Structure 1
Amino acid sequence: MKKVLAIGEILLRLTPPSNLKICNASSFDFCFGGAEANVAVGLSNLGLDTIMMTCLPDNDLGKLVQTFLRGNDVDCKYIISKGDRLGLYYYEEGISARKAKVIYDRKHSSINELRYEDINIGELLDEVELIHISGISLALSKELNNTLTKIIDEAKKRNIKISVDLNYRSSLWRSYEDFVKTIKPIVKDSYICFGWLNKDTSNFKVFDAATDTVNNDSLIEQFKYMTEELNVKNVVTTLRSGNAYNYHTLSGVLFDGKKIYKASKYEFSMVSRIGGGDAFAAGVIKGFIKNETPEKIIEFATATAVLKQTQIGDVSMSTEKDVLDLIENKNLGSVNR
């Protein structure tokens, strides 16, 4: 079986314990994460073969990252030792009315040293059924953007499926218009896109499931530009609502260019939101790789995202059985013995 390839930066995350603010912290808990790495680990824990491509410094931190990935059965043979530093980010958990907070420290990190010439593209793509990237990586540097664009262009020529998580981050782009201009060629002809672009690029909007109209007609109106103009096969997103007491609802939506498919609405108390979208992406990709029905794909992905948000850290550690147990309501308020 061919593998899923994730390309992007792996970061060291530092989080103050006990819901402290960063400015009050005297120590930090750490874990590894990053949008594409989270998907690779999530997919591996769901039973798929995954490859991670990135650059890591040739030091003990770089070795520790690879130990983490290999411990989650992610193939590391295409990781390149290059550059001087591992990117960092500081994460302050939100609690009650206090919003979560992120401070990035990733300038000049090793991933920006990745070059197309470093890669044996024929050997790499011969192993791959689907490539997953995110808009975050495209924002990090012009050189990395060029490298990723060349990889995706070559993959499209070979009819390899492309999965793109838009992951728009306003702090990483000069403007939303600049983001759209950069990512549109990547999104065009992709197999899966998480999130959507509109013809109007003047502002960024996501659905708020608590206030917005999210019937099938309104969703199709939002998504059809993607399928009709950009030839995206499947547009996928989550619908969320939440309050200051960490009580959340989550559902998922999949549009295949013809029909909207919705997951059940899950209600839960959130432990940590980071990585929920990446767990959702892993659930969707797993379903498409396994040729499951759209109904099963979106239900499974939504349940995977819910479970991730009950776990500390960036990555989803849920197995396929864990997710199916949640879907079947076997483990709500009970103990598995």
Structure 2
Amino acid sequence: MTVYGFGEVLLRYTPPHYEQLKDASAFEVNVGGAEFNALVTLTQFGHSTEMLTVLPNHAMGQLALQRMYQARVGTQTLQLVNGRMGTYYMEESFGYRSGKVIYDRNHSTFAEQGESVLKHLNADKGDYFLFTGITLAVNPSIRQQIVEVLTQLRQRGVKIVFDINFRSNLWTKEEALPVIQSILPLVDVLFFGKKDATHLLETNSVDDDMETCAKTIQKQYNIAFMASSNRDIEASTLQGIVLSGQDYFEGQVYAYTVLNRIGAGDAFMAGTLHGLLKGWSLTQIVDFATKCSVMQHTTNEDALAVDERDVFHLATHFGELNR
């Protein structure tokens, strides 16, 4: 069994020490991307993974490729072509000052040619195909063929995993809605947020709770498994939810401390898939996935790279030292 991730691998430039972008004189560079982040974690948990992407054939592309080698994520289908690297600049939040992201990924190699790697996809029965709404936003060409691609994969017995991950600064609701609505009936595992139900899909009102939102989307699109990580920023807490068939479960609420917000949802997704692949109960899955998300907040990297036992042994007290 292999988990295939289809999406852009890009570089994140962040000023050190919580500096603002306008004052930056240096940047720390991280390699990331939603699908890649999830694959890094799944690889660490012992699963076979393959990244489906296109990188530029120059030093910046080699930087990303080296990170993929280090993480042991599969690169057999990856392509190197002439072009530019997708990047973004992130200003980290501090106190009451909100964070800020500036994307610079138009006309990147993935945006222009990313769909080409799907021609060489050899996924088969029992494999998983993972992608997000970010991929659909970045690469306009894939939107025209995504239904056909997913239909063919499902006919081959491949499970489809989709994180809505709507980004309004990458595409508009008017562009996103018909594309996302067309693929939801083909999705086996869906990751979503409450605003996806209330503001994007408009299946629910803002007064509906998460259980109602999940069951409404499930009923309308016939999705077997759904999950969400609910983050209360003011309270600094996380609570995962899962819906499998008629079984709905809300996990334990965990407090978290923020060193880095990037990749927390990707870590939750990886933790959920790990539990599904291991055949765990819903309670085990949601607890493990939420712990993954909590742990990702404590790292400086875009992806959570820890062993399964590290997640199980998440400290119960702030600043705990294991000796």
TM normalised by structure 1 equals 0.88
C-alpha distance in 1 between matches for 2:271 and 2:211: 22
Task: Decide whether the 8 Å contact of 1:37 with 1:52 is kept in 2.
Answer: yes
Equivalent residue, structure 2, for 1:193: 190
Q: Residues 206, 317 of structure 1: CA spacing in aligned structure 2 closer, same or farther, 3 A cutoff?
A: farther
Equivalent residue, structure 2, for 1:253: 241
Offset of residue 259 of structure 1: 2.0
C-alpha distance in 2 between matches for 1:312 and 1:205: 36
Give the paired residue count: 321
Offset of residue 189 of structure 1: 3.2
Match of 1:286 among 266, 274, 279: 274
Task: Decide whether the 8 Å contact of 2:54 with 2:117 is kept in 1.
Answer: no
Q: Pairwise mapping of residues 115-264 of structure 1 onto structure 2 (< 5 A)?
A: 118-121=117-120, 124-126=122-124, 129-174=127-172, 176-195=173-192, 198=197, 218-243=209-234, 248-264=236-252
C-alpha distance in 2 between matches for 1:292 and 1:25: 46
Q: Tell me, what secondary structure is at the counterpart of 1:74?
A: coil
* 2:18 aligned partner, one-letter code: N
Match of 2:305 among 317, 330, 333: 317
Offset of residue 298 of structure 1: 0.6
Equivalent residue, structure 1, for 2:52: 53
Once the two structures are superposed, residues 63-101 of structure 1 have per-residue CA deviations (whole angstroms, 9 ceiling, x without a partner) of 221110111110011101124011010011001001110
Offset of residue 185 of structure 1: 2.1
In angstroms, what is the RMSD of aligned CA positions? 2.4
C-alpha distance in 1 between matches for 2:217 and 2:272: 18
Once the two structures are superposed, residues 178-204 of structure 1 have per-residue CA deviations (whole angstroms, 9 ceiling, x without a partner) of 322111222213111111654985769
Task: Decide whether the 8 Å contact of 2:187 with 2:223 is kept in 1.
Answer: yes
C-alpha distance in 1 between matches for 2:77 and 2:201: 38
C-alpha distance in 1 between matches for 2:77 and 2:317: 38
Offset of residue 159 of structure 1: 2.2
Q: Residues 30, 65 of structure 1: CA spacing in aligned structure 2 closer, same or farther, 3 A cutoff?
A: same
C-alpha distance in 1 between matches for 2:110 and 2:145: 11
Q: After the TM superposition, which parts of structure 1 deviate over 6 Å for at least 4 consecutive aligned residues?
A: 204-207
Structure 1 unmatched runs, 5+: none
Q: Tell me, what secondary structure is at the counterpart of 2:186?
A: coil
Once the two structures are superposed, residues 229-272 of structure 1 have per-residue CA deviations (whole angstroms, 9 ceiling, x without a partner) of 211111111122123xxx61111000113121121111122111
Equivalent residue, structure 2, for 1:265: 253
